[in-house]
Structure 1
Amino acid sequence: MRIVIAGGHGKIALRLERLLAARGDSPVGLIRNPDHADDLRAAGAEPVVVDLETTTVTQLTEKVMGADAVVFAAGAGPGSGAARKGTVDHAAAVLLADAASLAGVRRYLMVSAIGVDEGPPPDADPVWAAYVNAKKAADDDLRSRGEQLDWTILRPGRLTDEPGTGRVRLAPKVERGPVPRDDVAAVLVALLDAPATVGHVLDLVSGDTPISDAVAAVGG
């Protein structure tokens, strides 16, 4: 499969690209900084330089044409202000959905965050509040596209760089907790192969269930 990944140089994306390449898929990473291209090639992915904050939907449609699926794993990242939460975490996700629809690419996986439907707490830092609101807005937009896209929204808990265990808790609602980025990437690969997960919003934290079993149980 040809999988186009927005935020292709991110920590989850690089792990996902390695897993996809290792099993014979063709990952494509969308990156803003051309200096990151060699890192993607080392992960087995094709780098494509495009700035999701400035590109047009027509230009982005050309980048995703011919893909079997798209994955939104982009984010403004630490140190960015509230404005970029809106332009990346929300607007870029919407732009990718528009481009996928125009290109006829139905499968869309969204990497979101646990608890965003609850909104930020009243005393939240303004930048954190903007992030939570942006992720919820992006999720809400995707959930409205059931006739256009076969979407799945994955909402990991607190991300860590600990080695993956291959065991998780995956359900519409789970208690908050940590999860290694290794396991998030592995779950994304499994979701690509699981059409029964289309239309589901899934929380993800570390747990006791093997990833293959956890994904197979969705929609069952």
Structure 2
Amino acid sequence: MSAEEILAQIEQFETAFDTYNQKMLSGMKEFSEKLSSIWKNIKILKDENATLVETIKDQDAHLETLRTESESLDKKIQELKTTKEGLTSKCTEYTTELERLTSKQKEPEFQLTNLTSKLSEVNDRIKSRESEKTQLDQKKVENSQLEEQKKKEFEQKQVELEKKIGILKQQNFFTSFVIENSDQDIFEVDIIATILEKGKCNMNEMKKQLDLTPIMAVRTIKQLAVQGIIELNEDTNEIALP
């Protein structure tokens, strides 16, 4: 091999070495940059990891606190449930008692309603009876007044009748004397006495009062009329003293 060929190969080798060296430097630079970037990322991740660890610690502490509070709340809930059961039992007891008292209260209310209804009926009856009594009292007053009036009229008529009898006695002195002093059952005397007592009477009524047969009674009355001792209206059968 000649010197020129050796120099040419050396130049090629140097050129190749320079190229390799440049590539090597370029690769090292790129690797260094990447390594620096990775280190930065690792540092960031490390910082984030530290923060995350602290956060986890805080969360664990908070979780422990929450667990403690949860246990405390569980105890309180259990206590409240126990209290609730007691209150529910009392509520049931009071509700039952209230229903019993309400039912018991309604019973006198129902009785009161019945009594009020009966009282109303009794009041209506009392008012009706009082109204009837008022009417009866009014009728009693009216009857009393009417009775008093009739009594006065009767007394007045009796006085007038006594006056008439007195006048008749004066006008028929002999007949009156015979009637008042006769001890025997004289039918003529009975007839005259009846007329003097009543003023006038009907012959049919007179026949019933005399202890005679109807024929004898009529004959006796007509004989007295013929003698002028009495007056007989044969149309009306009324008998009176003249």
TM over 0.5: no
Report which of the two has the higher share of strand: 1
Higher RCO (CA < 8 A, seq sep 6+) = 1
Length-normalised TM-score, structure 2: 0.17
